[in-house]
Amino acid sequence: MPYFNIDSRKKRKYDAIVIGSGISGGWAAKELTGRGLKTLVLERGRDVQHVVNYPTTTKMPWEFEHRGQISNELKKANPIISKCYAFYEGTEHFFVKDAEHPYVQEKPFDWIRGYQVGGKSLMWARQTQRWSEFDFDGPARDGFAVPWPIQYKDIADWYTYVERFAGISGNKDGIPQLPDGDFLPPHQMTCVEQYFKEQIAKNYKDRQIIMGRAAHITEPRDIHLQQGRGQCVNRTICERGCPYGGYFSSNSSTLPWAMKTGKMTLRPHSVVHSIIYDEKKGRATGVRVIDATTKEMMEFYAKIIFVNAAALNTNLLLLNSTSSRFPNGLGNDSGTLGKYVAFHNYRARVSGEYDGFMDQTSEGRRPNSPYIPRFRNVFKQETNFLRGYAAGFWADRHKTNDSDGIGEDLKKSLHNVKWTNWKVGSHMMGETIPKASNFVALDPTLKDEWGIPQLKVSMDYDDNDEKMIKDYIEQITDMFTKAGFTNIKSYDSKQAPGLDIHEMGGVRMGKDPKTSMLNEWNQLHACPNVFVTDGACMTSTSTQNPSLTYMAFAARSAHYAVDALKKKNL
């Protein structure tokens, strides 16, 4: 291992180091630099600058060699990543290819990754719902996982803080289990979506259909214009990178904001090997980094370290950060590191048709859709399964062209536009229960290109998930039936965990250091100058899309860390 001279060491010394530049890492960087800390942001992938490095964002369909489709050769070479809904010819450059970053599947798991500056914030689905007190109270009520060390009231103001900066569209819906936020004007429902909303209100007292809450600027505020971002123009090709900054990403928002302070150093192509722990000082002093290109090992030093490498990579990094004090991974006195990993269950779908509103269509585009908040086991345990599920919903019509005839007759036929019936559909997003049997670990023999152990993943569904799927199908089918929808069909994809792209846990928060890794400020209990504010910190998963909560955690913890430094408590 190389040792640098004193002058070199000074050049590699910072107030803070942030590992990862995705959604949570970007927020950590913004807050730390905004409070005056000289901050190094390490990203294992290449640099991607807003607008400059979005090569397909303005391409038309005919400009792609395969008209946007993935070639059979690429699909065959990438059986995992090609399952992702957002992976196609216009986005393939933002996704990790299967052979380049191998991992061990002890049980089937489709790990979807994006290694570049901005991470998956470039390709995410942009759905942003707050957690409620019911979500934070869940583990304490039913005894699965450990109690959260915080409540909704502890994070509510931080939700508002990040919503205002990021730009979140939505309605004030007044739903206890889905708190309202600081919203921009909402997207609009189609007529059949609005009809379904009214039918649900008529037939159920405990269920609502709302317009989804999404990280899209529908009406720019001054804070968004200061970031150089503009209004979303509903192109619906967001995952290619938005040149207008119409949706939130680290690249268009937090990282440029941090860079403007003059306090941020961004270093791409930096694979973090491990965190350095000083036995005498009883704290972390820096990180070991392998240059992704040259394979050179180097060290960087800081007073505080924020780990935001994305949930499973954060687990891998801490497991690989061993010392005499922590032989089983940094901060792992509890033995819970890598365990109690969970995800969201996206397996089930229900579809149908509606033959009303035949004088109306859904012409146009919209980067969002309605949402069905959780309605099972919210206020009391009422089913044979724990926790619950949320669901997406959509309704639209498609036009078809008459293709009869040949030559001139065909040309005339193509002008005969016909519209289908209204198509409706829903997908579930179920909460899975964290269990010790769902875990990640370091493979004892296999290593990656940089000599780091490959991650072994062992995650699966259980009986609770199967019961939840059954209930979702029954309840959505009943809701569709009462709304007068026809040709109702249900589908269980049987997909492996991972395609939800909502893996969480392994470095969970908790009140007791004996059963958790992090305290209420996202600090490692046993090494308090290391913070984890990405998905790895989650004690339970709830049913909401998790990214907004990661952002709020990162902002909250960064402010706490700076204050603690100033008080010399770190």
Q: Let me know: does 210 contact 171? Beta carbons within 8 Å.
A: yes
Would you say residue 200 has pLDDT above 60?
Answer: yes
Average pLDDT, the chain: 95
* DSSP 8-state assignment for residue 213: P
Would you say residue 4 has pLDDT above 80?
Answer: no
**Residue type for position 420:** T
Q: From the DSSP assignment, how many helices (H) and strands (E) are in the chain? A: 12, 22
What whole-number distance in Å separates Cα of residue 339 and Cα of residue 458? 10
Q: Let me know: does 291 contact 307? Beta carbons within 8 Å.
A: no
Residue ranges of the alpha helices (H) in 429-487? 463-482
Q: Report the SS3 class of residue 175.
A: strand
319 closest CA partner among 303, 308, 306, 335? 335
What whole-number distance in Å separates Cα of residue 66 and Cα of residue 531? 44
Would you say residue 2 has pLDDT above 60?
Answer: no
Tokens matching residue 352? 């149908």
Task: Identify the pLDDT of residue 468.
Answer: 98
pLDDT tens for each residue of 535-560: 999 999 999 999 999 999 999 999 99
What whole-number distance in Å separates Cα of residue 80 and Cα of residue 98? 7
Residue 46: burial class (beta carbons within 10 Å; 0-12, 13-18, 19+): middle
Distances (CA, A) of 541 to 131, 153, 276, 529: 10, 18, 30, 25
Of the pLDDT bands very low, low, confident and very high (cuts 50, 70, 90), residue 7 is low
Of the pLDDT bands very low, low, confident and very high (cuts 50, 70, 90), residue 143 is confident
Strand residue runs (E) in 512-565: 523-524, 527-532
Would you say residue 165 has pLDDT above 60?
Answer: yes
What whole-number distance in Å separates Cα of residue 426 and Cα of residue 352? 9
Of the pLDDT bands very low, low, confident and very high (cuts 50, 70, 90), residue 5 is very low
Tokens matching residue 269? 């192509």
Tokens matching residue 395? 């309704």
pLDDT tens for each residue of 410-436: 887 778 888 889 999 999 999 999 999
Whole-model pTM: value is 0.95
